[in-house]
């Protein structure tokens, strides 16, 4: 059991790296704890609420009691299956805003400006309906499509945004993110187009990539050099050796955990758990970030929502149609319209995201509203709250301690109140009037700051976008974990490449940026000159300093 490169984690970044390294003729072993992604629960886009609530596909992590949310523990789903979280997510595709990556570079991630990452987004994409060749890729492995928007609520939502004075954007992943418009998804020919389908399965066919089923316990170090990974497999405990490098791509929760179990992290914390210190990197597990959101729910005045399918017969009909034809409602994630807006004047680029859904239901599918309704998922993009991932013990089987420290700054509360009030204004526009019967949640009785804060404390949820726990930065930065080529600072032969290396969370859903990270990291691993920078200038609202829209 050895290869040139050993990748821990068959998730979004890991699959992309395996594909590119194999393409270059390298032998790769991918270690994955989870099982197969076959079957309709994962492959049918309309079934998205199921896999992230199934222990067979999800690690089942939870946060510690959150002090600013009344002690609530929040679910922290991470994919434990081939494809990782790209096999259990909502399939929404967002690159992030150009300014996100410029900020990364300012924070010490040299070579990761928007101009530097745009060529990698283009290389990975096969865009169907995007802006065109200056901005979007057309030949990559990752198919990106748009839903049919056949439900009248989708276009009514976009039009209501326009009526409220916001721009409309034809492609938020192109030149202009800001505005209301169609949402994009990693769906192709009616199937979830996960990183496993796009990258790993084609790579496996070539013969250079092999999957090792097992639980990674630690990186095996010889002095300061990583030489392999200790893995529990069905055949027992063994070491899978890497001739060149070990690459950790195990998620923003498991990647820092694995580094700490391997002796890389805050020295005092490691000694506390009886772990020999290989490299004192206090940034390992720090800088944890996430997006939060609330579900603004409205009762529908017309029976045009998906509620009519929210019963055993309706779900069976949708599932049967998909199994027989690959089409119908099951072929969409139902996130077909969206928006990115700014919360106030003086904010340079969008800091609020909307997902619109033509049914009022929780993300876990457990609590449908009683009757026809619809909702907008809305939340701020750039919270200043920071948390941590730390070890519960020195035992690899124990789940880590996850503390997000959600809503720990006054700005978080201010931003969420703005989300509620701006959303009410949008849904009050003429285009929505034929469809809005009443506001279910939060409910119009809640108006004051104190009333809204009470609602938020009980109802904000994670959007499941954890990142930042192995932050990329300059070697001179004591809190940086990896350098700008994803090499772990202070050791040799070891890299981390997944959402854990993000210095700051990006706008929107993180699957796209995670895959891009794998694509770019692959070139660094291979010692290639990075793709030439593309200096396409994104649209920024010219009146951003004085106007909210």
Examine the pLDDT at 369 and tell me if it is beyond 80.
Answer: no
Q: Is residue 419 within 8 Å of 352, Cβ to Cβ? A: yes
Nearest residue to 504 via CA among 105, 177, 238: 105
Examine the pLDDT at 363 and tell me if it is beyond 70.
Answer: no
Question: What average pLDDT does the chain have?
Answer: 97
Q: Is residue 268 within 8 Å of 275, Cβ to Cβ? A: no
Examine the pLDDT at 482 and tell me if it is beyond 90.
Answer: yes
Q: Is residue 256 within 8 Å of 470, Cβ to Cβ? A: yes
pLDDT, tens only, 395-443: 999 999 999 999 999 999 999 999 999 999 999 999 999 999 999 999 9
CATH T-level topology, domain 1-145+187-290+387-406+465-528? FAD/NAD(P)-binding domain (3.50.50)
pLDDT, tens only, 434-460: 999 999 999 999 999 999 999 999 999
Instruction: Report pLDDT for 141.
Output: 98
Instruction: Report pLDDT for 1.
Output: 83
Vertex 352: Cα angle to 168 and 508 (nearest 5): 90
Instruction: Report pLDDT for 348.
Output: 98
Q: Which residue, chain included where needed, has tokens 């701006």?
A: 422
Extract the tokens encoding 247.
């690459």
pLDDT, tens only, 92-150: 999 999 999 999 999 999 999 999 999 999 999 999 999 989 999 999 999 999 999 99
Q: Where in the chain is the domain with CATH 3.50.50.60?
A: 1-145+187-290+387-406+465-528
Question: Of all residues in the chain, what percent carry a pLDDT higher than 70?
Answer: 99
Higher pLDDT, 149 or 366: 149
Instruction: Give the chain's length.
Output: 549
Whether 465 is catalytic is yes
Q: Where in the chain is the domain with CATH 3.30.410.40?
A: 148-182+292-380+408-459
Q: CATH number of 148-182+292-380+408-459: 3.40.190.10, 3.30.410.40, 3.40.120.10, 1.10.10.10?
A: 3.30.410.40
Q: Which H or E run includes 410?
A: helix 410-427
Q: Is residue 442 within 8 Å of 450, Cβ to Cβ? A: no
pLDDT, tens only, 200-247: 999 999 999 999 999 999 999 999 999 999 999 999 999 999 999 999
pLDDT, tens only, 294-344: 999 999 999 999 999 988 899 999 999 999 999 999 999 999 999 999 999
Instruction: Report pLDDT for 365.
Output: 62
Instruction: Report pLDDT for 367.
Output: 57
Instruction: Report pLDDT for 370.
Output: 73
In 269-426, beta strands by DSSP E: 279-280, 292-300, 337-341, 352-357, 373-380, 388-390, 401-403
Q: Is residue 430 within 8 Å of 424, Cβ to Cβ? A: no
- Number of helices (H), then strands (E), belonging to the chain: the values are 13, 25
Examine the pLDDT at 165 and tell me if it is beyond 60.
Answer: yes
Select which of 68, 126, 143, 465 is catalytic.
465
Q: How confident is the model at residue 364 (pLDDT cuts 50, 70, 90)?
A: low
Burial (0-12, 13-18, 19+ Cβ within 10 Å), 290 = buried
Examine the pLDDT at 368 and tell me if it is beyond 70.
Answer: no
Nearest residue to 84 via CA among 209, 200, 218: 200
Instruction: Report pLDDT for 435.
Output: 98
d(CA 499, CA 512): 10
Nearest residue to 141 via CA among 119, 153, 163, 126: 126
d(CA 470, CA 499): 9
For residues 15-39, give the mean pLDDT: 97
Instruction: Report pLDDT for 361.
Output: 84
Output the pTM of the full model. Answer: 0.98
């Amino acid at each position: 059991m050895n290869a040139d490169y050993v990748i821990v984690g068959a998730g979004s970044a890991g699959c992309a790296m395996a594909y590119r390294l194999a393409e270059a003729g390298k032998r790769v072993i991918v270690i994955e704890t989870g099982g197969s992604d076959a079957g309709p629960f994962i492959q049918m886009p309309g079934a998205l609420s199921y896999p992230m609530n199934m222990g067979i596909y999800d690690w089942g992590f939870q946060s510690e009691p959150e002090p600013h949310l009344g002690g609530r523990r929040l679910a922290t789903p991470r994919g434990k299956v081939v494809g990782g979280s790209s096999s259990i997510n909502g399939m929404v595709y967002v690159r992030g805003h150009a300014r996100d990556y410029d900020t990364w570079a300012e924070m010490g991630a040299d070579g990761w400006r928007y101009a530097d990452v745009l060529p990698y987004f283009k290389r990975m994409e096969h865009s169907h309906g995007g802006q065109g060749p200056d901005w979007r890729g057309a030949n990559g492995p990752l198919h990106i499509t748009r839903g049919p928007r056949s439900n009248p609520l989708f276009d009514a939502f976009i039009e209501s945004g326009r009526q409220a004075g916001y721009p409309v954007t034809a492609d938020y992943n192109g030149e202009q993110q800001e505005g209301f418009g169609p949402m994009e998804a990693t769906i192709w020919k009616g199937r979830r187009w996960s990183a496993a389908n796009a990258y790993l399965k084609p790579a496996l066919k070539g013969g250079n990539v092999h999957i090792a089923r097992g639980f990674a316990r630690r990186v095996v170090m010889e002095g300061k050099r990583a030489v392999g990974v200790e893995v529990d497999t069905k055949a027992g405990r063994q070491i899978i050796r890497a001739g060149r490098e070990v690459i950790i791509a195990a998620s923003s929760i498991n990647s820092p955990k694995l580094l700490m179990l391997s002796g890389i992290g805050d020295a005092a914390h490691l000694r506390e758990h009886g772990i020999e210190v290989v490299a004192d990197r206090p940034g390992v597990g720090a800088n944890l970030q996430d997006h939060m959101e609330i579900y603004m729910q409205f009762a529908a005045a017309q029976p045009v929502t998906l509620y009519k399918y929210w019963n055993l017969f309706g779900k069976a009909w949708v599932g049967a149609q998909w199994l027989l034809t690959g089409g119908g409602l099951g072929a969409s994630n139902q996130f077909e319209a969206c928006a990115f807006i700014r919360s106030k004047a003086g904010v340079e680029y969008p800091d609020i995201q909307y997902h619109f859904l033509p049914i009022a239901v929780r993300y876990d599918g457990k609590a449908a509203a009683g009757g026809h309704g619809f909702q907008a998922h809305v939340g701020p993009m750039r919270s200043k709250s920071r948390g941590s991932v730390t070890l519960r013990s020195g035992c690899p089987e124990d789940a880590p301690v996850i503390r997000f420290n959600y809503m720990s700054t006054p700005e978080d509360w201010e931003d969420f109140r703005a989300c509620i009030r701006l959303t009410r204004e949008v849904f009050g526009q003429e285009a929505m009037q034929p469809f809005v019967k009443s506001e279910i949640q939060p409910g119009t009785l809640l108006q004051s700051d104190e009333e809204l804060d009470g609602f938020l404390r009980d109802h904000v949820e994670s959007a499941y976008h954890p990142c930042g726990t192995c932050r990329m930065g300059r070697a001179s930065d004591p809190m940086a974990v990896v350098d700008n080529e994803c090499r772990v600072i202070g050791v040799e032969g070891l890299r981390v490449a997944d959402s854990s290396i993000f210095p700051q969370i990006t706008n929107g859903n993180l699957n796209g940026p995670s895959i891009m990270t794998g694509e770019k990291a692959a070139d660094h691993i291979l010692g290639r000159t990075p793709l030439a920078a593309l200096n396409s200038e994104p649209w920024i609202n010219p009146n951003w300093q004085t106007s909210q829209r």
